[in-house]
Structure 1
Amino acid sequence: MHSTRSSVTEMSTPLLSIRGLKTCFPTRAGLVTAVDGVDLDVYPGECLGIVGESGSGKSVTFASVIGLVRSPGYVADGSMQFDGIDLRGLNADGWRTLRGRDIAMTMQDALTALNPALTVAEQIEEVLLAHATDLPRRGRRDAARARAIEMLRLVGIPAPDKRIDDYPHQFSGGMRQRIMIAIALSCRPKLLIADEPTTALDVTIQAQVLDLISDLRRELGMSVVLITHDLGIVAEHTDRVAVMYAGQIVEAGVTRELIDRPRHPYTRGLIGLIPRLSDLDAPIKPIEGQVPELIGLGGTCRFYDRCDFRASRCRTDIPMEAAGLDHQVRCVRVEESLQ
C-alpha cells in the first residue's frame, strides 16, 4: 500500500533531476516541440511512473535523458543531472561510459530491439565486455558468459545454460522481454528506464514482467522509471507518478494520492478508462478528441479542446501549482471541485 507521502523522497537527494527540458524535431510542417519544459526528479530506490497517451512525449523525454535523441532532433533547453553528472555536458566517451553501466533502458518492442543475427549470449556479453568493471582481466570472456547465464536465471529464463546460445526468434514474446531486462540489468545500473515493458504481451505475462521488475528493484536497490499508457499498471507498481500530455507534465504526485484524488481533468479521464471490479456494468467514458499537433503550441492549456471544464481563463500559459503535499497540477481550476 502506498503512503500519502513517498518515503524515498523525504530525506533523499534525487538520483536524476530534470529541469526545463525541451526537445525539438524540425519537420516540413514546422518545429515539433515533443517535450516542452519538463521538470522531474527520480529518487534512489523508487519507481516513478510516467503515464500518458501515445504522442505525449514520454519516450522522447527519457531518450533525451539517455542521449538517444539524434539529428535532426535536439535538446533545445533545460538541465539534466544524474548522480552529480551534467548529462548535457557529456561527450561521446562520457556517454559510452555511463550508458549501459549506470543508466539502462529497455525498449518497447523486444523483437525489434534485439539483434536477430546474434545469439542471446553475444548480446548480453557485448554489454558486459563494454561496461562491466568487475570482470577479471584474465578469462574476461568466460566470466562474461557466466554472468550472462546468471542474468538469464535471475529474470526467470528456464535452463539458461542451454538457452543462452539460442537466437531471439526462438523465444516467446514474454521471454524476449525478460532477455531485454537481463541485458539492461547485466551491469547493475543505478537507474532502469522501462519503456512500455508490457507492449503486446498477454495479461498473465504482463503481470509476470512487472512483478519481475519490482522484485529486481528491491533486490538490486536500483531506481526505476516505468513508462506506460496504463494507469492500472502505475497504480500497482509505482511510488510516484507523473502524467504527461502534449509534451508537458500536467499532474504529478504520490501514486495513491493522485489515483484517489486526481485534480487535472486529463488524469480524471485516464482513471475513468479503468474498468471497476466493483461495478463491471459501469460505462467507460472515452476522452473525446485527439492529442494536438505539437507545432506552435503555447499560450493556452493544451487539453483545452478536449476538456469538459474549460473556461476563458484557460487560454493562458498555465504553470504547475501545488495541490497538496507532494502533489502538483497544471490547471487554473485546481482549487475547485470538478464534477
Structure 2
Amino acid sequence: MTGAMGNLLEVRGLRTVFDTRAGEVRAVDGVDLDVRPGECLGVVGESGSGKSVTFASVMGLVRSPGRIEEGAIRFEGRDLRALSQKELRRIRGRHIAMTMQDALTALNPALTVGEQILEVLYAHDETLPSGGRARTEAARKKAVEMLTLVGIPSADERLRYYPHEFSGGMRQRIMIAIALACRPKLLIADEPTTALDVTIQAQVLELIADIRTRLGMSVVLITHDLGVVSEYCDRVMVLYAGQVVEEGPTAAVIGDPRHPYTKGLLRSIPRLSLRGQPIEPIEGQVPDLIGLPPQCRFYSRCRERIDACLQPIAMREIGAARRARCIRLEEETRP
C-alpha cells in the first residue's frame, strides 16, 4: 500500500454493511485503497464483489438499510466521514464526480440534458456570476462546452433534447459531461460501457482517457473486464466478496497474477496471444456475504487451496508496490 504522502483519495479499513431480515450483509469488509493525482485506478471483480458499494461509500451515497460501520475516507487530507451532508455535497459533484452504470435510468427523463447540466453548474460552480441573465448565459455557455468536450455534435441545439432522444452511447457521453461540468479532480466511472456494443465501448473509454489527460484528473474505472483495465489503467485493484485480494501496477498484475482469483479472471477472458487455448470459467459462485466463516473467501472455488486457507488471511506485501491476500505467497521463494 502506498504511503499517505501525495494521495488524492485514501480509504482505510472501510466496512459497509446492509441489515436484512436474513442477517447482516458485509458488502465491503476492510477495504484499503489509494488514488494518486492524475492516475487511473482499475477496480475489477465479479458482480457482488463490492466494487460499486465501495465507491458509493466514498461518495456518501449509502442509504438505509446500508451503513458505513467503520473506516476512514480522506480526500485531499479531509475526513469525509466527519463532514455534514451540506459540506459533503459541496465536495460531491464539484471535486469528486461519479457516473452510474445505466445512463438511461441515471438521467432524469423529465428534464432536458441542458437542464441537468445547468443544475450541476448552479449548485457547484462558484465561478459563475452571482445572478441574473449573466449567470444564466455563463452557465449555458459552459454546458455547451461540456457537450462539445464529450463529442456531442450541434451541442447548442442538443441542450434542448431529452435523454430518450439520444442513443445509448450518446447518453453515456452526456452523463460524463454532467459529471465533468465542474472539472472535478476525481472521476469515478462505474461500469461506463454497460449495455453498449464493442465499438461504442471503445469510443467511451477513449473519451474518458482523453479527458483525463486534458484535465489532469484522476479516474477510478470500475469494471469486470480485465482487458479494459490492461488498456487504460495504471494500477489495478481486484475485489472479491467485499475484500481486496490483489493490488499493484496493471502490467505486473496482468503479467504475473499472484492470487488464484486474479488468475481465474485472466483464464476466463479470450486473448489473441493465446489463440486456440480454451476459455476456462471460474467454477462456483461468489459466496453468500451473510455469516461468512473466518477463512479465505475464495476457498470453495480455488484450485490451489490447502488446509491452511481455513483461517483468516491478511494482505501480504509483494515488494514495494504490490500486495495480495493469499497464504500460498509464504511458500514461494522468488529472487
Q: Which of the five TM-score ranges fits, normalised by the shorter chain?
A: over 0.9
Tell me whether 1:98 sits opposite 2:91 in the alignment: yes
Tell me whether 1:305 sits opposite 2:306 in the alignment: no
Task: State the identity as a percent.
Answer: 67
1:10-29 pair list within 5 angstroms: 13-29=6-22
Calculate the TM-score normalised by the size of structure 2: 0.96
1:117-266 pair list within 5 angstroms: 117-138=110-131, 139-266=134-261
Q: Is the 1:124–1:186 contact (alpha carbons within 8 Å) kept by the matching residues of 2?
A: yes
Q: Is the 2:104–2:164 contact (alpha carbons within 8 Å) kept by the matching residues of 1?
A: yes
Calculate the TM-score normalised by the size of structure 1: 0.95
Match of 2:327 in 1: 332
Please give the root-mean-square deviation of Cα atoms over the aligned residues, in Å.
1.6
Q: Is the 2:236–2:248 contact (alpha carbons within 8 Å) kept by the matching residues of 1?
A: yes
Counterpart of 1:126 in 2: which secondary structure?
A: helix
Q: Is the 1:47–1:224 contact (alpha carbons within 8 Å) kept by the matching residues of 2?
A: yes
Deviation per CA, 1:214-240, whole angstroms, max 9, x where unpaired? 111111111100000000000000000
Match of 2:38 in 1: 45
1:288-299 pair list within 5 angstroms: 288-299=283-294
Alpha-carbon offset, residue 112 of structure 1: 0.2
* Matched letter for residue 230 of structure 1: D
Deviation per CA, 1:25-76, whole angstroms, max 9, x where unpaired? 0011100000000000000000000000000000000000000000121000
Alpha-carbon offset, residue 324 of structure 1: 2.5
Counterpart of 1:226 in 2: which secondary structure?
A: strand
CA distance in structure 2 between the partners assigned to 1:332 and 1:11 by the alignment:
27
Write out the 4+ residue segments of structure 1 that deviate beyond 6 Å after TM superposition. Answer: none
Structure 1: 5+ residue runs without aligned partners?
1-8
Match of 2:310 in 1: 315
Alpha-carbon offset, residue 11 of structure 1: 10
Q: Is the 1:51–1:231 contact (alpha carbons within 8 Å) kept by the matching residues of 2?
A: yes
Counterpart of 2:327 in 1: which secondary structure?
A: coil
Q: Is the 1:299–1:316 contact (alpha carbons within 8 Å) kept by the matching residues of 2?
A: yes
* Matched letter for residue 137 of structure 2: D
Counterpart of 1:97 in 2: which secondary structure?
A: helix
